[in-house]
Each structure stands twice: as C-alpha cells, then as structure tokens.
C-alpha cells in the first residue's frame, strides 16, 4: 500500500514538473505596435518558444483576429479594422481618430493561465494641416539668376510620436496594460520643377517658361502605399512684394484660373501637381507662393479629397482682377 502511494506521488510530482516547464515563459520587454491604414500589428518577443495564441478579445474563433503558436521566440498578430470589431472614436482635441481593441496573449495552447497578458491597444491617427511656401524669382529673360527658397511651415498639430509608446493603466487589472501608438505624420514639401514632373528644382525662371508645381508629403516615395493619410493641396495664393495677392486654389483645392494654375492631378495618395507657365506681376521680379496641405485619414483603401468634385476651370485672364487683393 505504501509503495502504491509513493508511485502515485511520484507521478503527480513528475506531472507538476512537466506543467511547470511548459508554462515557464513570458514576454521579453513590451509588445510593439504599428498602425497602418487598414490594420494594426502587434509583435512581441518571449523568453522561450511561443506555443500559445494571440487574439482579439471576443474573437478567438475568427481566423483574421487570431495568430497561433509560432514555436519561435517571436510572434505577431495583424488585426483588420474591418473584421475584428475595432472601436473607432473621433477626437477634436487633438483632431483625429482613435482606434482601440483588446488583445490576449495566451501562453498555454489550450487554457488561460495566470501568466497570460491582456493589452488594450490604441492607434491614434492625427489629422494635420501644413503650410508650405515657395519664393520664385522671375525674369523676362534668361540673364537673371536667383535662388529658389523653399520653406516648410509649422504643423498645426503637435508632432507625432514614434510607434510603440507604452504606459500602464492603473485603473485596469494588474494583468492588463495599455499600448498607445500615434501614426507618424509625413513631412511635406513644395517644389517648382523645370519643364515637367521629372525636371530639376528651379534656380530661376522666365516668363512663359513651362514648369511643374509639385506638392508631396512623401519626399522619398516610400509611404504612399502604407500611409493612412491622404494629402489635399488647397488655399493657394501667389503674392508680390508690393502686397498684391491672387488666389490660385480655393479652400477645397479647386483651381480659380486655368491660365495661372489648373486643377491639380494627384499621382499618389500623398503627391499632386500640375504643369503651368511662369507668370509675374508687372514691375515685380519675385513671386511668393503659399499653399496649405490637409492630411486627412483615408476611408479604408480609398483616398477621398474635397477637390474630387472640382468643376472644369473656365475662367480666363479677363477675370483675374476679381481675385486680386491688396494686403495692407
């Protein structure tokens, strides 16, 4: 009888050791989150190979909302905004959109255990408006050469933080933390290019010379496909040293006078431009262009702009007097 009890105890001890070995795991550091235009991703590193699951709370049985054992020391989950009931909340201060969901990191392949982690994941997409200016010196011939000055204006919203900023929420249970990430705002630039889209930035220009006005919030050409933002150029004007000012694009981004600048053509979500002929005010050699660029959130994969419904521009040179203003 004593021998049988000893054998039973030995089996229980062995079983306990096996279970302890399986659950001897945990996170190395905090998970990292990345916010995209249609989804967000969470990735993390573990002390031992990950044998459990990571899933959106309440969506364990939804394949798009769960990632299973990687059997490696790293694991990740990409969460679709459309399929995983991600909460959307509009914010006015600062202006933007907050997307929130809760994920569970379960280390056991079948059961929830005390070493599991729960995270409230938040992605904030800030809407912003940039003001970009361009100083172009214009001559009536090619003998005058002056530099072009490009100044990027300040953003109206606070600078965005890099992804994976983590803080603990003391109002939640000890095992639930909060991960908050702000999608980084792209840097915007305005250039006047010689001849066309592929031309070099101008050093000087002459009346009648063909140029290409380009506005981009993706200077390196690497963000357009993955960026959640959509750029709209609007409220453009040109002025001279004496204070005269002419409106080129209205608040919706629609052209006022096709002889000066036609409706813009957007080549990507973050880049637009248009060909025009160089002009200048009488007895003035300098033009100062100023435009605003609105960075708004894409509606899913589609980039919608206020300028999409712009009418075909018919106004000609005769009506420019109506839009010339004098700045005091």
Task: Tell me if 316 is assigned to some domain.
Answer: yes
Residue 140, number of CB atoms within 10 A of its CB? 11
Task: Tell me if 175 is assigned to some domain.
Answer: no
Backbone angles phi, psi at 56, to 5 degrees: -80, 130
301 & 318 share domain? yes
- The confidence score (pLDDT) of residue 74 equals 92
42 & 119 share domain? yes
Task: Tell me if 118 is assigned to some domain.
Answer: yes
For range 240-244, the mean pLDDT: 84
Give me the CATH number covering residue 244: 2.60.40
For residue range 130-159, list pLDDT tens digits in order: 777 777 776 654 333 322 222 223 333 333
Exposed/middle/buried for 233, CB within 10 Å: 0-12, 13-18, 19+? buried
Q: Please check whether residue 306 is in contact with residue 232, taking contact to mean a CB–CB distance below 8 angstroms.
A: yes
83 & 218 share domain? no
% helix, strand, coil for the chain, step of 5: 10, 45, 45
**Total domains present in the chain:** 2
112 & 191 share domain? no
Residue with tokens 């990191």: 105
78 & 142 share domain? no
Task: Tell me if 180 is assigned to some domain.
Answer: no
197 & 118 share domain? no
117 & 195 share domain? no
Task: Tell me if 166 is assigned to some domain.
Answer: no
The range of the structural domain enclosing residue 306 comes to 128-159+185-326
Least confident of 121-125, 126-130, 192-196, 307-311: 126-130
137 & 85 share domain? no
Task: Tell me if 268 is assigned to some domain.
Answer: yes
Cα 262 to chain center, whole Å? 27
pLDDT confidence tier of residue 4, bands split at 50, 70 and 90 = low
pTM higher than the cut 0.75: no
Average pLDDT of the chain? 76
Cα separation of 297 and 231, whole Å?
9
- The confidence score (pLDDT) of residue 158 equals 32
Query: Can you name the residues that pair with 137 across neighbouring β-strands?
Result: 286
- The confidence score (pLDDT) of residue 194 equals 92
275 & 138 share domain? yes
Exposed/middle/buried for 161, CB within 10 Å: 0-12, 13-18, 19+? middle
102 & 226 share domain? no
215 & 142 share domain? yes
- The confidence score (pLDDT) of residue 285 equals 82
Task: Tell me if 165 is assigned to some domain.
Answer: no
- The confidence score (pLDDT) of residue 219 equals 63
Domain final residue, candidates 126, 141, 173 = 126
Task: Tell me if 117 is assigned to some domain.
Answer: yes
- Specify the 3-state DSSP secondary structure of 234: strand
Give me the CATH number covering residue 108: 2.60.40.3210
| Sign of the CA dihedral with 238 first, then 239, 244, and 250 last | positive
Short-list 229, 214, 219, 320, CA closest to 272: 214
103 & 143 share domain? no
Least confident of 97-111, 202-216, 261-275, 300-314: 300-314
């Amino acid at each position: 009888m004593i021998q049988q009890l000893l054998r039973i105890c030995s089996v229980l001890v062995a079983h306990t050791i096996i279970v302890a070995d399986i659950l001897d795991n945990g996170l190395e550091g905090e998970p990292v989150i990345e916010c995209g235009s249609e989804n967000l991703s969470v990735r993390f590193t573990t002390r031992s190979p990950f044998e459990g699951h990571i899933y959106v709370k309440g969506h364990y049985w939804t394949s798009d909302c769960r990632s299973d054992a990687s059997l490696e020391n790293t694991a990740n989950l990409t969460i679709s905004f459309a399929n995983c009931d991600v909460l959307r909340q509009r914010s006015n201060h600062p202006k933007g959109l907050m997307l929130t969901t809760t994920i569970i990191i379960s280390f056991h392949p079948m059961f929830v255990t005390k070493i599991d982690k729960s995270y409230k994941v938040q992605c904030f997409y800030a809407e912003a408006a940039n003001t970009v200016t361009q100083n172009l010196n214009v001559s009536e011939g090619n003998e005058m050469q002056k530099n072009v000055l490009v100044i990027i204006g300040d953003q109206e919203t606070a600078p965005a933080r890099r992804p994976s900023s983590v803080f603990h929420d003391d109002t939640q249970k000890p095992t639930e933390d909060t991960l908050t990430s702000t999608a980084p705002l792209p840097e915007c630039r305005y250039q006047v290019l010689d001849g066309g889209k592929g031309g070099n930035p101008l050093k000087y220009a002459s009346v009648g010379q063909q140029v290409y006005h380009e506005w981009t919030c993706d200077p390196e050409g690497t963000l357009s496909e993955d960026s959640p933002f959509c750029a709209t150029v609007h409220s453009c004007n040109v002025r001279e040293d004496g204070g005269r000012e002419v409106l080129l694009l209205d608040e919706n981004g629609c052209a006022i006078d096709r002889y000066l600048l036609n409706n813009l053509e957007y080549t990507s979500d973050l880049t637009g431009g248009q060909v025009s002929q160089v002009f200048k005010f009488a007895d003035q050699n300098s033009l100062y262009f100023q435009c605003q660029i609105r960075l708004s959130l894409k509606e899913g994969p589609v980039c919608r702009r206020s300028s999409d419904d712009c009418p075909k521009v018919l106004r000609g040179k005769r009506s420019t007097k109506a839009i010339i203003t004098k700045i005091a």
